[in-house]
Amino acid sequence: MRALRIFLIVAVILGGLFVIADRVAVGFAEDEAADRIRTTEGLASTPDVSIEGFPFLTQVVGGEFDDVKIGIKDYEASTTGTGDAVSTIRIDDLNAEMHGVVFSGDYSSATASSATGTATISYAELLKAAQSGPTDVTTGVTAEVVGLSDGGNGKIKVSVEATVLGTKLPQPVSVLSSVSVEGDTVKVHADSLPNLGVDLAEDTVRTVTDFEQKIDELPGGIQLDKVVAAKDGVDISVKGSDIRLVG
């Protein structure tokens, strides 16, 4: 009986030491991976990296992690907007979960078989993609988009400021717009035209109300999937396969 008690005590101690060693090792790997991702993607700050699953050391031996979560704040993505208005757009929060991450022994390379995630673009950032400055929509009438906000029910409220025959309208005119993703481009399309008090050709007005934002580069080659208007901006779902994390 005494021998059994001693065995159990030793087993508990060894198990505790293994857990400690496992957590120390995963912490080191997470820090190393975060530094390499920051360098590979040219990030201004180090991302958050969390390697899921336990034990970590057995995954290391197998050369593959089941799941790795990555969080990047204030990511500057290359982009082309309407009229080539901006060259980058700031993504407030980019969070991705990588599945089936195969890596080299020194973490100099890592590739995920698939990935899903979310990203958020503020309305202030998306506004940069709209036509900049007043646009002539007909003789004596100019208009420009001056604000974007949550319109409710998945719509974006687009505020248009207009000047008619030299007189600025007392308040911006608002329309509700739908937002969608097509390939690597976020598109905003007015559900109806703003009432500026004069008859205007639809195609001409839409040069002001409708705009798009192309996002050329996301980390590792992940792609835009879906988009929905939210309280503080547009929430985007991203996905991808054969995602290169580092190397």
Number of alpha carbons in the 13 Å side-chain half-sphere of residue 79: 25
Contact 53, 67 (CB under 8 A): yes
pLDDT in tens, 77-108: 777 655 554 578 888 888 989 888 887 766 67
The DSSP bridge partners found for residue 238 are: 117, 224
| pLDDT in the model for residue 12 | 43
pLDDT grade for 65, boundaries at 50, 70 and 90? confident
Residue 167 has which token pair? 């007189």
pLDDT band at 14 (very low <50, low <70, confident <90, very high): very low
pLDDT of the residue at 8? 43
The CA distances from residue 69 to 26, 99, 140, 147, 197, in Å, are 13, 9, 54, 34, 52
Q: Report the distance separating Cα 169 and Cα 165, nearest Å.
A: 10
> Is the pLDDT at 64 greater than 60, yes or no?
yes
Residue 93 buriedness (CB in 10 A; 0-12 / 13-18 / 19+): middle
